[in-house]
Structure 1
Amino acid sequence: MVGFVLVVGCGGAYYLYQQLDGNISKVDVGVENDAVSDGPVNLLIIGTDARSGKGNSGYGDSGSVGHADTTILMHISKDRSNATALSIPRDLITDIPNCPTKQKDGSKKVIPGEHGVRFNTSLGQEGRDPGCTWRTVEKLTGLKINHFMMADFNAVKELSEAVDGVEVCAAKDIDDPKSHLKLKAGRHTVKGEQALAFVRTRHAIGFGSDLDRIKMQQQFLSSLIRKLKSSAFSSPGKLYDVSQAATRALTVDTGIGTAGKLLDFGNDLKKVDIDKVTFATVPVLDNPNDKATVILDQAKADPLFAMVRADHTLAKHKKSKGKSSGPAKKAPPELVRVDVTNGGGPIGSAQETVDWLQNNKGAKLSTNAGNAPAKLAATRLEYAPNQADQAATLADWMGLPKSALKKSSQDAGDRVPMKLVLGKDFKAPGTPIEAPTETPDGVQNVNADDKNVCAK
């Protein structure tokens, strides 16, 4: 689905997509964002191990309710100059929050959250839908998700067939009886069942872990993106085949649940160049209490998540193709009106911040609004379009990154305050909430344009 998203808006697609509306399955996750955003975009991509669907009975775990077998959080920068795709290990031990789900009869049911369980149970288990995985990823990373796409085993098989195969590379002979993949060392073009075997293989490579399987998936997806973005797929016939294959295997949120919305979404994201797409794996450590699972490597994960939240690229080339909009106009201190709540900072942070704003910055219209209703990983400033000058002033004082600024769609009344929610990343008023600009050491990553990646 990653490659499909980046190519879906190419020329001539519109009339094709009008014919494909009926292929698209939708799930109402209780959040419906606009298809196109003027800010960064976070797309959750889920590959489920459900055995439903033609030809899938021999795959996955027998009787599986359809867990989150493969999960990628794709972050596309605000200026669309780069994208980062974070693979989340399925065996990561994490917390799953309470999850409201919509039932077939239209009623809502809240699935209770769980502490210290496998990440992949965020989908399927206890009736959890993709919205539960959505909320779990938000809690884990501190990134707000815009949309999700979910696919089953057929997506790999049918898409790889539609593009006449995907080139992959093996550094050694591979013979995995579990996935039924047999490859000699060297380069190969795989499609259909063999393509699915490639992305499912882990026992015959590396240490035989899910982390090694993730590397296979990243190699495959990188090659698929390169092929989908090539000029070879500009013909209407080929584009139609790819579109049919993708949408037949696709389930999305209601925000992109029509052909028109999906086309708009793809048109927005296709601006990203291949050499600015980076795949990375969320850093983990072996779980000392269970060898079959892993735990978050907090020392590496925290700066990685902060880097993505701040909209910093993992790509080696840092020059942005986006146009600078210039410095924003700033309001004088006496006009900055804001309610401050504590959503994860140290105890007393809201009052400490208000005292600092009033006494050090002259913002007498700042108010302590107590504790936020929910904890946030990242500090957030919510403001209306007609409060942009106030937001610019406050962001400058607080050292807020662009990713912390959330502009609403409608203007606010004269006496309506902005809302500053202090997240877990908040240290002290006046201390910039900084994020690294270089990929943390030890974080596995690969550029999608790297043609020399081989399975080892």
Structure 2
Amino acid sequence: MDAQGRGQAGDDNVDPADQWVFDPNTGNYELRLDPTGQGPARPADRKAPGRRSARNPGAGGGDTDTRPLPVQRGRLKDGAGEPAAGGRAARRAAERAGSAAAGGAAAAGGAAAGRRRPKPKKSGKRKFVYWTAGVVGFVLVAGCGTAFVIYQQLDGNIKKVDVGEENSAVTDGPVNLLVIGTDARTGKGDAGYGDSGSVGHADTTILMHVSKDRTNATALSIPRDLITDIPDCPTKQPDGSTKVIPGQQHVRFNTSLGQEGRDPGCTWRTVEKLTGVKVNHFMMADFNAVKDLSNAVDGVEVCAGKDIDDPKSHLKLTAGRHVVKGEQALAFVRTRHAVGTGSDLSRIQLQQQFVGSLIRKLKSSAFGSPSKLLDVAQAATKALTVDTGIGSASKLMDFGNDLKKVDLNKITFATVPVLDNPQDKATVILDEAKADPLFKMVQQDHTLSKDAGKDKGGKKSAPVKKAPPELVRVDVTNGGGPFGAAQETVDWLQNNKGARLSTNAGNAPEKLSATRLEYAPNQADQAATLAEWMGLPKSALKQTTADAGARVPMKLVLGKDFTAPGSPIEAPTETPEGVQHVNADDKNICAK
């Protein structure tokens, strides 16, 4: 039901967007069903500004008629009882009316009473819209989208899937949102895309990690043709029963959805198994959202570094900048044969460019009006499927509001590192040497943004001298790692690193939760080399007081945090070398 249907159904001249007016006392937009100003300027007992306090606890989580919306300039002046008709003259008239209503208080302001009053501060609600635009972008690149400028009527648009996990919409820790785009053909104009005889695949998947302090976000694109393992997956059936879909090994990642009856929860579990990252929520939709959302924002600017003519996606662009929408926008994010290497990896980079541009457009001042945001919200939620933890308009609002602090220049896109599959050129395999440290960065809540978290000022410690591999002498024991970890580590040190003086000392006398390296002061150079190889944190290094003899080895005890040799225990503080990544605020990205 729209705003007109809630009290103004008979008035065809009322724009629903005009019924949402800014209340300076709460900092929110509120629904006014009487545009003539006959009623009170605002409800007498309305609390502000929190939505939680305004919600009826007995209403099953539904919102009240008061909805926070982004600041819209020129709609209603502070204290006025009706929305301005639009234009400069109307705004001035509203200001004069507000000044007259203020009485002596306005007079006390002297000449200021006749001046234009300051625009509402936009750091709160507008910043909320900016963040939601970011989520819209991530979802859109997967073939779907959402917006959190929620009207009550949007509740009916949202589809839910019970995946056996119902996490709270708001959490104190990091947030990991799984964004899934399916290639199912569900709408008009989709005949050229996807699989006509299938329920769809996980065609594009992004794991979006938002840091605990909400200062940065990382979006990992997972290639659809990645060979991986899909775990057993419990799925809810129409009759309420649960059916476990058997897992598969060494199959394409995109078969984690749709195939064999798998639902988004199966993709959820596959991503957790692949990355070691605990997922909180998922969002999924199809191709239609790309078209509808790009139309709703009047097009998205993209850049082609060369002429593009892709016979598969039917995209034709000359070199330079273009604004694309509708079918052309969908063709852009689906193109791969005419750019880069012609692979899915090249298509991912186009999608990242498109998303960044969409975020920047939605962040611009052109998108401050409720009418435009309503168009975006309608287009988005109609294509949206989510988990039950965020399966309502109010929960989505809470979710978006929790994540609103992230700035555009602190959002980084990255692609999971892969290698060509020697057994099948149409697929790829995980590049573990690069992927493992990248996954650890996400697991340990480290940012990929270049300037986030860097020390400002202060002295840097002098670099530690490192010993050559042939001088590294160490006894390795297993104190909590996987079975056979000590011998596996020794083999890796000798064969991969050239540390011929490493030996297997069996099991440690005690179990350790964390890996530990004991070394003497005169072995500091050896310890530095081994710590770099193993990815050991400083907390793992334990220096003794006395120097060691010439042939006395260091002692490396593998703890429960050890997974495999070559997989760093401590996450790197910078993006691993060779990992494709780009900042969402970068305007100089062009498809080549």
- Asked if 1 retains the 8 angstrom alpha-carbon contact of 2:182 and 2:200, the reply is yes
With the length of structure 2 as denominator, give the TM-score of the two structures.
0.59
- After superposition, the Cα gap between the structure-2 partners of 1:223 and 1:300, relative to the gap in structure 1 and judged at 3 Å, is same
> How many percent identity over aligned positions?
76
- After superposition, the Cα gap between the structure-2 partners of 1:299 and 1:356, relative to the gap in structure 1 and judged at 3 Å, is closer
Query: 1:148-191 CA deviation, whole Å, 9 max, x = no partner?
Result: 00010001001111111110000001011110101010000101
Query: 1:96-153 CA deviation, whole Å, 9 max, x = no partner?
Result: 0000000111110000000000000000110000000000000000000000000100
1:31-430 matched pairs, under 5 angstroms: 31-319=165-453, 345-346=482-483, 355=511, 422=560, 425=563
1:6 is aligned to 134
The one-letter amino acid of 1:262's match is L
- Asked if 2 retains the 8 angstrom alpha-carbon contact of 1:87 and 1:280, the reply is yes
- After superposition, the Cα gap between the structure-2 partners of 1:188 and 1:108, relative to the gap in structure 1 and judged at 3 Å, is same
Q: 1: CA distance between counterparts of 2:480 and 2:159? A: 36
What are the ranges of 5 or more consecutive residues in structure 1 without an aligned counterpart?
322-341, 361-394, 400-420
- Asked if 1 retains the 8 angstrom alpha-carbon contact of 2:149 and 2:377, the reply is no
1:445 aligns with 2:581: yes
- Asked if 2 retains the 8 angstrom alpha-carbon contact of 1:345 and 1:423, the reply is no
Q: 2: CA distance between counterparts of 1:181 and 1:198? A: 6
The one-letter amino acid of 2:233's match is C
Query: 1:301-348 CA deviation, whole Å, 9 max, x = no partner?
Result: 001101111111111112389xxxxxxxxxxxxxxxxxxxx9973469
- After superposition, the Cα gap between the structure-2 partners of 1:107 and 1:180, relative to the gap in structure 1 and judged at 3 Å, is same
The one-letter amino acid of 1:28's match is D
- Asked if 2 retains the 8 angstrom alpha-carbon contact of 1:3 and 1:224, the reply is no
After TM superposition, give the deviation of residue 286 of structure 1 in Å: 0.2
After TM superposition, give the deviation of residue 239 of structure 1 in Å: 0.9
2:591 is aligned to 455
- After superposition, the Cα gap between the structure-2 partners of 1:14 and 1:110, relative to the gap in structure 1 and judged at 3 Å, is closer
The one-letter amino acid of 2:236's match is K
- Asked if 1 retains the 8 angstrom alpha-carbon contact of 2:561 and 2:569, the reply is no
- After superposition, the Cα gap between the structure-2 partners of 1:125 and 1:5, relative to the gap in structure 1 and judged at 3 Å, is farther
Query: 1:286-307 CA deviation, whole Å, 9 max, x = no partner?
Result: 0000000000000000011011
Question: How many residues are treated as equivalent by the alignment?
Answer: 370
- Asked if 2 retains the 8 angstrom alpha-carbon contact of 1:85 and 1:277, the reply is yes
- After superposition, the Cα gap between the structure-2 partners of 1:165 and 1:435, relative to the gap in structure 1 and judged at 3 Å, is same
Q: 1: CA distance between counterparts of 2:161 and 2:576? A: 36
- After superposition, the Cα gap between the structure-2 partners of 1:46 and 1:3, relative to the gap in structure 1 and judged at 3 Å, is farther
Which structure ranks higher in relative contact order (CA pairs < 8 Å, sequence separation ≥ 6)?
A: 1
After TM superposition, give the deviation of residue 440 of structure 1 in Å: 0.6
Q: SS of 1:232's equivalent?
A: helix
The one-letter amino acid of 2:316's match is K
With the length of structure 1 as denominator, give the TM-score of the two structures.
0.76
Q: 1: CA distance between counterparts of 2:365 and 2:241? A: 47
- After superposition, the Cα gap between the structure-2 partners of 1:5 and 1:114, relative to the gap in structure 1 and judged at 3 Å, is farther
Q: 1: CA distance between counterparts of 2:135 and 2:178? A: 17
- After superposition, the Cα gap between the structure-2 partners of 1:234 and 1:16, relative to the gap in structure 1 and judged at 3 Å, is same
Higher strand share: 1
The one-letter amino acid of 2:398's match is D
1:20 is aligned to 154
After TM superposition, give the deviation of residue 6 of structure 1 in Å: 3.5
- After superposition, the Cα gap between the structure-2 partners of 1:356 and 1:179, relative to the gap in structure 1 and judged at 3 Å, is closer
- After superposition, the Cα gap between the structure-2 partners of 1:184 and 1:254, relative to the gap in structure 1 and judged at 3 Å, is same
- Asked if 2 retains the 8 angstrom alpha-carbon contact of 1:96 and 1:115, the reply is yes
- Asked if 1 retains the 8 angstrom alpha-carbon contact of 2:201 and 2:258, the reply is yes
After TM superposition, give the deviation of residue 352 of structure 1 in Å: 5.6
Q: 2: CA distance between counterparts of 1:119 and 1:179? A: 22
- Asked if 1 retains the 8 angstrom alpha-carbon contact of 2:356 and 2:584, the reply is yes
- Asked if 2 retains the 8 angstrom alpha-carbon contact of 1:6 and 1:266, the reply is no
2:552 is aligned to none
After TM superposition, give the deviation of residue 54 of structure 1 in Å: 3.4
Q: SS of 1:226's equivalent?
A: helix
The one-letter amino acid of 1:165's match is G
The one-letter amino acid of 1:345's match is P
- After superposition, the Cα gap between the structure-2 partners of 1:444 and 1:397, relative to the gap in structure 1 and judged at 3 Å, is closer
Structure exhibiting the larger radius of gyration computed from Cα positions: 2
Further displaced range: 99-108 or 60-69: 60-69
- Asked if 1 retains the 8 angstrom alpha-carbon contact of 2:150 and 2:397, the reply is no
- After superposition, the Cα gap between the structure-2 partners of 1:398 and 1:25, relative to the gap in structure 1 and judged at 3 Å, is farther
What are the ranges of 5 or more consecutive residues in structure 2 without an aligned counterpart?
1-129, 137-146, 456-478, 487-506, 517-536, 542-558
- Asked if 2 retains the 8 angstrom alpha-carbon contact of 1:48 and 1:66, the reply is yes
2:504 is aligned to none
Q: 2: CA distance between counterparts of 1:3 and 1:203? A: 32
- Asked if 1 retains the 8 angstrom alpha-carbon contact of 2:170 and 2:399, the reply is yes
- After superposition, the Cα gap between the structure-2 partners of 1:289 and 1:21, relative to the gap in structure 1 and judged at 3 Å, is same
Q: 2: CA distance between counterparts of 1:135 and 1:253? A: 13
After TM superposition, give the deviation of residue 397 of structure 1 in Å: 7.6
Q: 2: CA distance between counterparts of 1:355 and 1:318? A: 36
- After superposition, the Cα gap between the structure-2 partners of 1:44 and 1:16, relative to the gap in structure 1 and judged at 3 Å, is closer
Q: SS of 1:19's equivalent?
A: helix
Query: 1:167-219 CA deviation, whole Å, 9 max, x = no partner?
Result: 00000010111101010100001010000000000011111100000001000
- Asked if 1 retains the 8 angstrom alpha-carbon contact of 2:336 and 2:346, the reply is yes
- Asked if 2 retains the 8 angstrom alpha-carbon contact of 1:166 and 1:223, the reply is yes
